[in-house]
Amino acid sequence: MVAVSISSDGVDELASWAKDANFPVLFASDTSGTIAEKYATTGTGIGPLKKFFKRVVFVVGPDGRVAQIFRPFSALSQDSYAQLDSAIDRVAKTGK
């Protein structure tokens, strides 16, 4: 299984951050917002944040299909990570 994090940050910023933090995931840059719009991970705000990117996690099975979506994903909640771990274990065992 491979984890890919897609961010609106630029390639250089992501590479530096990922190297410093030694994350066990791959990082992809979406500075244009094309991927975010395709997968409905953008939101509408007010003021200077008229458009923002939501933190969303997709668990993709071995068949390439999305098995579960965490929308929004709360990166500061340990429960979110526990739920994500359970979903990954389930998909790894059952394929869905």
Which of residues 54 and 83 earns the better pLDDT score? 83
Do 52 and 45 contact (CB within 8 A), yes or no?
Answer: yes
The residue type at 74: S
Residue 89's pLDDT is what? 92
Dist. CA 40–CA 69, nearest whole Å? 11
Question: What is the average pLDDT across 73-88?
Answer: 90
Reported confidence tier of residue 45, pLDDT bands at 50, 70, 90: low
DSSP letter string over the chain? ---EEEESS-HHHHHHHHHHHT-SSEEEE-TT-HHHHHTT-EEE-SGGGSEEE---EEEE-TTSSEEEEESS--TT-HHHHHHHHHHHHHHHHH--
Tokens 């979903």 identify what position? 87
